[in-house]
């Protein structure tokens, strides 16, 4: 397993070692001991989530705040996404910056997003199955978000705007400057 820190401190790309043979493949997708050593602190994942999306679906940009903040370890089981993490830690030197990583069934990369980040993705293929681990339980009243097309963040979602499918809930999220107050 190779774990590489992105340009955003605390946010890591995880590339598992994959063993192929005539039967298919095997990989260790998570090892608590190796993972915690790489990120530098103990993570206790408590909830797994999975979603299905079709091409163009944007699920973004979401965050849990306060005592219900969540760190996430995300990956794709089928298809391909552009996965985005936005640093919302006001004390961070990369506050307001984002990282975008293509995660796919083929590359088997994962992204670790620490607490204090907003997260989202867009489905790049006809269908996508997306899986993630959280280190805290979902709490509706602690949910926040930022509109996916915020001009300050200037995220390139890799698809034309007319191909993006946004939920009613995500379409009314505030802009970055409003959300961080």
Question: Is position 132 annotated as part of the catalytic site?
Answer: yes
Note the pLDDT of residue 105.
97
Q: 98, 119, 132, 148: which one is catalytic?
A: 132
Domain ranges for the chain: 2-179
- Among 113, 107, 153, 118, smallest CA distance to 134 is for 113
Within a 13 Å sphere around the CA of 24, how many CA atoms are in the beta-carbon half?
3
Structure tokens at 146: 């930022």
**In this predicted structure, what is the pLDDT of residue 180?**
78
Whether 98 sits among the annotated catalytic residues: the reply is no
Q: What mean pLDDT, rounded, does the chain reach?
A: 96
Is 133:48 a contact under the CB 8 Å cutoff?
Answer: yes
What is the H or E stretch that residue 39 is in?
Answer: helix 32-39
Q: Please state the CATH superfamily assignment of the domain spanning residues 2-179 in this structure.
A: Jelly Rolls (2.60.120.10)
**Catalytic residue from among 25, 62, 119, 148:** 62
8 Å CB contact between 167 and 145: no
pLDDT digits (tens, 9 = 90+) for 116-134: 999 999 999 999 999 999 9
Q: Is the pLDDT of residue 181 over 70?
A: no
């Amino acid at each position: 397993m190779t774990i590489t820190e992105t340009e955003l401190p605390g946010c890591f790309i995880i590339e598992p070692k994959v063993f192929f043979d005539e039967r298919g493949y095997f990989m260790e997708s998570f090892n608590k001991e190796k993972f915690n050593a790489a990120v530098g602190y103990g993570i206790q994942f408590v909830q797994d989530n999975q979603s299905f999306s079709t091409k163009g679906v944007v699920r973004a940009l979401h965050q849990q705040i306060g005592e219900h903040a969540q760190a996430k370890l995300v990956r794709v089981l089928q298809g391909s996404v552009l996965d985005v993490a936005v640093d919302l830690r006001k004390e961070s030197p990369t506050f307001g910056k984002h990282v975008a990583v293509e995660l796919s069934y083929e590359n088997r990369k994962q992204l670790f997003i620490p607490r204090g980040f907003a997260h989202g993705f867009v489905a790049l293929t006809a269908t996508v199955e997306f899986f993630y681990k959280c280190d805290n339980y979902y709490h509706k009243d602690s949910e926040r978000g930022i509109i996916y097309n915020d001009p300050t963040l200037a995220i390139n979602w890799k698809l034309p705007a007319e191909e993006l499918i946004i939920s009613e809930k995500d379409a009314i999220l505030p802009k970055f400057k409003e959300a961080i107050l």
